[in-house]
Amino acid sequence: MRVLYTSLKYLAVVLWSTFVIAPFLWAVSTSFKDFQSVTNGATYIPWVDFEPNLEGWRALWKSPAQGGVDIVEPFFNSVFVTASGSLISIVLGTLAAYALSRFTFKAGFIRNGDITFFFISQRIMPPVVLAIPFFIMLGKFSLLDTLAGLIIVYIVLLMPIAVWIMVDFFNKVPVEIDETALIDGCNPLQAFYKVVLPNSIPGIIVAGMFCMIFGWTDFFFSFILTFTEVQLLPVAIVALNSSITPWWSLSAAALVSVAPLVLVAFIVERYLSKGNLSGALK
Amino acid sequence: MNFKHKYLFLLPGLLVLLAILIFPIGFTVRLSLSSWDSFYPALDFIGIENYVRLFTDDARFWEAFGRLSLLSVTTVFLQYVIGFGLALIVWKEIAFQRFFRVLFLIPMMTTPVIMTVIWRTFFHESLGPVNDILSHFNLAPLWLSSETLSKFTVMIVEVWQWTPFMFLLLLAGLLSLPKEPFLAASIDGAGPIRTFVYVTFPLMAPISIGAIIIRLIEASKIMDTVYVLTSGGPGTATETSSFYIFIKGLREFQFGYSAALSLTYLIIMIISFTIIAKILVKLMVRGN
């Protein structure tokens, strides 16, 4: 019975791991192929099934004119938009979350809970509902096809996440910390940034990671709201998909874009194992 | 605790969010009452004509909605079962515990559209590895161009992408559970199955409900994956509500009509989530 249970457990883990890894292995293998080894049917192992070459990877640095798939600029655009959007969302979201966790607000029938719900409920909004009005609004302010326009949109996308995680986090930070600081003669502003903020670093990191994930992986808004001047990484890569697909450079580009956040998985796991996530995620 | 400058903390975030959102929402409401399209791009007023058309003369919207419900409920259910199973396994002692925890998280860190591009080559009907392996058994399923199977392919990709999210929330929940109930259960001589049914599952009920609702909300927005994998096809076999609205609004430029579709879709979503949340609470909490 015990042996059966253990072997079933490991069988499940191995099966699921294979499923998780499979597309990555396929992409790594494909990124070293050329036209021949892609179009002659599926091949897997370099040197055995096909002769590997670096064309797919070299294409990443070449301009489209040279037959490449310039993803360097889209990569840094993505970094810039994700970082700015996350930073603004975290700053504004943390302040708002602190207020919602510590002070009482009343306006008519509206209470703290309702304001928190308003923030978080923005996640329910399907992107497609906002797309057309955003398109028209950004057009009015000449912000279509600019990084600034995208950052504005990303704030709507990311601030709900920041508020959601930080409200729960602040609710777990004992109020006594703030009160001690106040008794020591700080005003509430000082108490916040001298005492509460340093104690909230784990929460801010978790919120930051989630903002980064949801910012970096967004496709729809940059797809709708940018055209030629500004291109983000996912849009650049999906654009490759529609032309006569060069599977090798497509796979190489995909791996480059996916790699940075895979590192985040390690950080998330560390926090998880230390028990810091449980409070922040409920 | 109170403080006269408390609005300094709340207002910057709240005002920024309101400023960015008020126009889009107000404008969508107004737009839904107009006939704005590419032939006649102006904000006229045609009353509720768009809504009448939607409810009486648009089977495609309701089919897309039915398909979306099927896709999201099935995938979220699978994600919950698999995610819970995996979380339970790596919660306890297991070889390479931390390695598996990291590995199981990785898919949610990847960009859905980009992985979908890879999946497209993976499920390619003549050049992909899946059909290459299946060809040894004389099988050649049409993963992307069969009406039934393409739905299944979308589900596979969705389950791969988002089971990790469910896994993360549930593992974080498991790690935060108190130890005493488990001690009590083992003193009473309960085996693993009884412990799960009478201790773990009830304790996890609130977290489970939260995780399922979050995932349902995200799943209800699905369109990126569909756009890249099948473009809603073959025909309309994998078209979801978001994707249909996208086609009406940003491909056929029927702005007025797509605004009406958007608002209807949003309201249906809010109502369904409220009902589903109530049902889940009843099922999972009162049952125990």
Choose among B31, B217, B249: nearest Cβ to A123: B217
CB contact under 8 A, A272 and B175: yes
Model confidence, pTM: 0.90
Q: Give tens-digit pLDDT for A71-128.
A: 888 999 999 999 999 999 999 999 999 999 888 888 778 888 888 888 888 888 888 8
Smallest Cα–Cα separation from B264: which of B65, B96, B8?
B65
Give residue B69's pLDDT.
93
Min Cα separation B287/chain A (Å): 22
CA angle A199, A203, A205 (to 5 degrees): 110
φ, ψ of residue A204 to 5 degrees: the values are -65, -35
Cross-chain Cβ contact B224/A220 below 8 Å: yes
Which residue in chain A has the smallest CA separation from B108?
A: A213
Q: What is the DSSP string of B200-265?
A: IHHHHHHHHHHHHHHHHHHHTT--HHHHHHTTT-STTTT--HHHHHHIIIIIS--HHHHHHHHHHH
Q: Work out the number of other CB atoms within 10 angstroms of the CB of residue B250.
A: 17
Which residue, A69, A36, A71, A68, is CA-closest to A52?
A: A36
A-chain CB neighbours of B196 within 8 Å are: none
The class (CATH top level) of B59-286 is: mainly alpha
Cβ under 8 Å to A: B residues 113-132: 113-115, 117-122, 126-129, 131-132
Are A146 and B45 within 8 A, CB to CB? Answer: no
B27 and A188: CB-CB below 8 Å? no
pLDDT digits (tens, 9 = 90+) for B213-240: 989 998 998 888 888 888 887 888 889 9
Domains of chain A: 2-53 (no CATH), 72-281 (1.10.3720.10)
Of the listed ranges A66-70, A147-151, A203-207, B278-282, the least confidently predicted one is A66-70
Domain segments of chain B: what residues? 59-286
How many other C-beta atoms are found inside a 10 Å radius of the C-beta of residue B133?
A: 12
A-B contacts at Cβ under 8 angstroms? 257
Of B288, B287, B278, which Cα lies nearest the Cα of B209? B278
User: What is the 8-class DSSP label of residue A195?
Assistant: I
Structure tokens at B197: 């049914």
Q: Does B8 touch chain A (CB under 8 A)?
A: yes
- At residue A189, the pLDDT reads 80
Calculated CA dihedral for residues B212, B153, A11, B196, nearest 10 degrees: 20
- For A38, counting Cβ atoms within 10 Å of its Cβ (0-12 exposed, 13-18 middle, 19+ buried), the class is buried
Say which DSSP state B282 is in: I
Is pLDDT above 50 for A27?
Answer: yes
User: Rounded to an integer, what distance in angstroms lies between the CA atom of residue A245 and that of residue B118?
Assistant: 11
The two three-digit tokens of residue B236, written as one number: 């309309």
A102's CB contacts (< 8 A; 6+ apart) are A170, A175, A178, B1, B6
Which residue, A122, A131, A157, is CA-closest to A224? A131
Partners of B78 on chain A (C-beta within 8 Å) are none
DSSP bridge partners of A50: A46
Q: Identity (one letter) of the amino acid at A103? A: F
**B236 backbone dihedrals φ, ψ, rounded to 5°:** -120, 25
Distance between CA A115 and CA A111 in Å, rounded? Answer: 7
Q: What is d(CA A59, CA A240) in angstroms, rounded to the nearest whole number?
A: 12
Query: Do the chains contact at A241 and B228, CB–CB below 8 Å?
Result: yes
CA A230 to CA A81: how far, in whole Å?
11
Contact B228 A42 (CB under 8 A): no
Give B73-88 as a DSSP string: HHHHHHHHHHHHHHHH
pLDDT in tens, chain B (288 residues): 556 678 888 888 899 888 888 888 888 899 899 888 878 777 888 888 889 888 988 889 999 999 999 999 999 999 999 999 999 999 888 888 889 999 999 999 999 999 999 999 899 888 888 888 888 888 888 888 888 899 999 999 999 999 999 999 999 889 888 888 888 888 888 888 888 888 899 989 888 998 999 899 989 988 888 888 888 878 888 899 999 999 988 888 888 899 999 999 999 998 998 899 888 888 877 544
* Closest by Cα among B200, B22, B259, B111 to A257: B111
Q: What is the ipTM of this complex?
A: 0.89
Chain A residues in contact with B269 by the CB 8 A cut-off are 124, 126
Q: Could you give the CA distance from residue A161 to residue B211 in angstroms, rounded to a whole number?
A: 14
CB count within 10 Å of CB A28 equals 14
CA distance A30 to chain B (A): 9
Q: What is the DSSP string of A73-87?
A: HHHHHHHHHHHHHHH
Q: Report helix, strand and coil shares of chain B as percent, to nearest 5.
A: 75, 0, 25
A278 pLDDT more than 60:
no
CA distances from A33 to A24, A62, A255, B57, B222 (A): 15, 18, 14, 50, 32
SS3 A120: helix
Closest partner CB to B3 (pick from A100, A103, A119): A103
Contacts of A280 (CB under 8 A, 6+ apart): A165, A168, A169, A202, A203, A206, A207
Number of Cα atoms under 13 Å in the Cβ half of residue B171: 32
Task: Identify the band that residue A282 occupies on the pLDDT scale cut at 50, 70 and 90.
Answer: very low
Contacts of B61 (CB under 8 A, 6+ apart): B54, B241, B244, B261
Cis peptide before A198 (omega within 30 of 0): no
Query: Which of 53-112 (B) contact A at CB < 8 A?
Result: 82, 85-86, 89-90, 94-95, 98, 100-112
Mean per-residue pLDDT of chain A = 85
**Residue B155 touches chain A, beta carbons under 8 Å:** no
The chain B residue lying nearest A117, using CA atoms, is B14
Q: How many Å apart are CA A235 and CA A78, to the nearest integer?
A: 10
